[in-house]
Amino acid sequence: MRDKIYFASDFHLGSPSFETSRERENRIVRWLNFIEPDCSELFLMGDVFDFWFEYKYVVPKGFTRLLGKLAQMSDSGIKIYFFKGNHDMWVKDYFTKELGMQIVSDEMIIVRNGKKIYLHHGDGLGPGDAKYKFLRKIFRNPFCQWLFGMLPPRIGIGIANKWSTHSRAANHNDEVFLGEEKEWLAIYAKELLQKEHYDYFVFGHRHLPLTIKLNEHSTYINIGEWLKYNSYAVFDGNDLTLTYFEK
Ligand SMILES: [Mn+2]
């Protein structure tokens, strides 16, 4: 029976090498096979790809095993959502047309079985990171995207791969827990809670699997990443919990 909802993010496929990425892709497909029997909805919450840019007539090479699996799941009636991450926000209609996935640009708030859940990749939220917040505006600007799309892919994707490596070196080296008071997505979630109740907040981006109790009735879960943790979250209708694949 399909009665569970799954959440995962930060596969960073394509990085850091073809071989390691292929290994990770195979693991993700094994995971999808594993969850498929009871999965009603699948939330892919950003940075599925280390870099994705969809040109008007062209998409990046690779990832055929994952894309094929997602197509098959979608065709079998599983609803799939694709959140834009900071590495793969340049999607247009290809995934929707080919895979039936719904693209989510920013936050998405869902209510399932009476539980209110706030979902976002996690980039550009909370205090700090002014530099990225500025860049995010440029990255998301339609005219800038159009200009970038005019570059031949061997130049555009070349630049992007350099950028992605740089950004990974700066941000994705063995993340360390800052403490519940300093985790910026926890701070952000607590701010939202002042105005409105949510049972759960689910974010990616942090590359650190976390479960933080924000108050008596509200929990922040960070779904981690798949380079090291193979972490994901599952909602069974009552509880939303963090768990690990092949660990
Ligand atoms: Mn990431």
pLDDT of residue 151: 93
pLDDT of residue 49: 96
Distance CA 87, CA 2 (A): 31
pLDDT of residue 173: 66
pLDDT of residue 156: 92
- pLDDT digits 0-9 by tens, 131-163: 999 999 999 999 999 999 999 999 999 988 888
Residue 45 CA to ligand 1 centre (angstroms): 10
Residue 10 CA to ligand 1 centre (angstroms): 5
Neighbours of ion ligand 1 (CB under 5 A): 10, 47
pLDDT of residue 170: 52
Residue 48 CA to ligand 1 centre (angstroms): 8
Query: What does each C-alpha distance from 25 to 91, 95, 174, 219 come to in angstroms?
Result: 20, 17, 21, 30
Q: Give the domain extent around 22.
A: 4-244
Q: What are the per-10-residue average pLDDT scores of the chain (247 residues)?
A: 96 95 98 98 97 94 97 98 95 97 98 98 92 92 93 91 72 80 96 98 97 97 97 98 95
Residue 123 CA to ligand 1 centre (angstroms): 9
Residue 52 CA to ligand 1 centre (angstroms): 13
Distance CA 67, CA 60 (A): 12
pLDDT of residue 18: 94
Residue 1 CA to ligand 1 centre (angstroms): 32
Residue 30 CA to ligand 1 centre (angstroms): 21
Q: Which amino acid is at 19?
A: E
Environment class of 64 (CB within 10 Å of its CB; exposed 0-12, middle 13-18, buried 19+): exposed
Residue 47 CA to ligand 1 centre (angstroms): 5
Burial readout 35-58 (b: 16 or more C-beta within 10 A, e: otherwise): bbeebbbbbbbbbbbbbbbbbeee
Residue 79 CA to ligand 1 centre (angstroms): 23
Q: Residue 89 in contact with residue 15, Cβ under 8 Å?
A: no
Q: Residue 122 in contact with residue 27, Cβ under 8 Å?
A: no
Residue 180 CA to ligand 1 centre (angstroms): 20
Residue 50 CA to ligand 1 centre (angstroms): 8
pLDDT of residue 1: 87
Distance CA 8, CA 204 (A): 8
**CATH code of the domain containing 204:** 3.60.21.10
pLDDT of residue 174: 80
pLDDT of residue 205: 96
User: What domain count does the chain have?
Assistant: 1
CB-CB neighbours of 24 under 10 Å: 19
Residue length of the chain: 247
Residue 11 CA to ligand 1 centre (angstroms): 8
- The pair phi, psi for residue 86, each rounded to 5°, is -75, -10
- pLDDT digits 0-9 by tens, 102-137: 999 999 999 999 999 999 999 999 998 899 999 999
